[in-house]
Amino acid sequence: MAATPLPPLAEDPSIVQGQAVRDDYTRTAEQARANTALTDLEAAQAIVNAWNAANEKLVSLYKDLQARRRNRIATLEAVVPIGPAVPSDASPADATVIQQAFRSALTQARDATDLSALLADAERFDDDTLRRAVLTVAVDDGQLGLVRRWTDRAGVTDQFEELVALREALAGRGMSALWDHKIFTPLGRPREAFDLPALEAADQASRQARAQARSTTYSGMGLRPGV
């Protein structure tokens, strides 16, 4: 799991590499279009291949970023009691029990008219499952003041702020969503992708016509092609 905070978005390796992928594709496409040594078919194939490769890389980079966000969230949830906190080494059976207990406490917290009182009960009896449920509902409902009072006492407000930001990012909200959209939105289909089928068909037809012409020539000379 990520033991340290993720870097700022402008410096995140997935963001940096994603921008480089977009720039490289644009440069490759421009160079192919300007290269008079290439046929229309060769230029189209080079551009479409670069486009496919770039989009595949953007998907991979986004998955990497989201995985690192999830790993960091798991680390922070061990410090800030938000979510069910299922240990990474928990067996499927144990994970199910933990999830069920958390969902039960979550229902209790959602039905409560006074989350502060319910949190006080959780603290009084050191009920971590109920504590997590109450603070999770408080975050979901925007009662961040209640959560910050708890995190201030526990000395983990910075971790809480980071956790909230990462949960927003994972859900596709907040400032992170703007970066994600800018960098990881698939590259638009180039015009060459629309032209390629016709260019390939024309090339195939030309090859077949030449082969037929050679066959006719050899046949008229009483020879077999290739002789």
Domain assignments of the chain as residue spans, ordered by start = 7-80+157-191, 82-155
pLDDT along the chain (227 residues), means of 10: 81 97 98 96 96 98 96 89 82 92 95 95 94 94 92 94 91 92 97 92 79 66 56
- Are 190 and 43 in contact, with CB atoms under 8 Å apart? no
Tens digits of residue pLDDT in 139-175: 989 899 999 999 999 999 999 999 989 989 999 988 8
User: Which ranges of the chain would DSSP assign to H, the alpha helix?
Assistant: 13-34, 40-77, 92-111, 115-124, 128-140, 144-154, 157-170, 175-184, 191-220
Distance (Å, whole) CA 158 – CA 165: 11
Distance (Å, whole) CA 146 – CA 149: 5
Tens digits of residue pLDDT in 15-38: 999 999 999 999 999 999 999 999
Q: Which residue in 68, 86, 73, 78 sits closest to 166, CA to CA?
A: 73
